[in-house]
Amino acid sequence: MKLRKKIIAGNWKMNKTISDAQELAASIKLELAECREVDVVLCPSFTALKTVSDTISDSSIKLGAQNMHWEPDGAYTGEISASMLRDLYCHYVILGHSERRTYFGETDAIVSHKVKAALAANLLPIVCVGESLEEREAGRTEEVIQTQVENSLTGLAAELKRVIVAYEPIWAIGTGRTATPEMAQDVHAFIRRVLTGLSDAETAETVRIQYGGSMKPANAAELLAKPDIDGGLIGGAALDARSFVEIVRHGM
């Protein structure tokens, strides 16, 4: 048996009305309802969670959210808690996406609070890390990634096994520029070494590390063949059922 089952998640971002989301989820389900070789996760916007949840309920496809607040309830206007997501049968939640870090001021400390709250509510966090082009060109990729991983995933001990890390170089997100499989593999192997430092080698070997950044049918096979690339977090290509399904098939 493979040590790590691949996980392919579609991050639909702020796209799709409820009816569009229902249609996309139904098209994906037609092809992947029985998929057991890969964990397939759909992450629609909050408004479409209920509809997509109902659409995929009789399949092996799982639901994820794109964000959450770390407090269980209270006066946090506009926010959504982990238990509210569990209520909708969410299994996963994306945390610390670079768009949240860049546009909404999310820091590693905030991400760390959210990761702990998600795990406590039995949601599996997909924790995003990644360097900017400027940081890569300055030779700072490892330093930036190490800081993000250590500070976002501090104090988890054995719980680390339930976390999914997504390596998403910011310069590759939505730009059509993909990290080469070798570049991505190097960073994934580095992340696993950082995870070993946070826990132990056995735990780090079980953590799944997804690649994200312009992954599409044409480049997915090569990326997913690398030993430390355990899946993908897909943005643009996840908005089209055929390309998303094709990427999943490359992971089988």
Using the minimum distance from each CB to ligand PEP, give the nearer residue, 199 or 232: 232
Listed residue (6, 29, 73, 44) closest to 239, CA to CA: 44
Q: Looking at 31-39, 142-150, 213-221, 243-251, which segment touches ligand PEP (CB under 6 A)? A: 213-221
Of the residues 106, 131, 135, 168, only one is catalytic, namely 168
**By the rule CB under 6 A, 51 interacts with ligand PEP:** no
Q: Binders of ligand PEP: how many residues, by CB under 6 A?
A: 13
Using the minimum distance from each CB to ligand PEP, give the nearer residue, 49 or 169: 169
205 carries an active-site annotation: no
Distance CA 106, CA 57 (A): 32
**By the rule CB under 6 A, 235 interacts with ligand PEP:** yes
Q: Looking at 20-28, 54-62, 210-218, 220-228, which segment touches ligand PEP (CB under 6 A)? A: 210-218
> Closest-CB residue for ligand PEP?
235
168 carries an active-site annotation: yes
Q: Looking at 106-114, 132-140, 167-175, 180-188, which segment touches ligand PEP (CB under 6 A)? A: 167-175
By the criterion CB under 6 A, which residues form the site for ligand PEP? 11, 168, 173-174, 212-215, 233-237
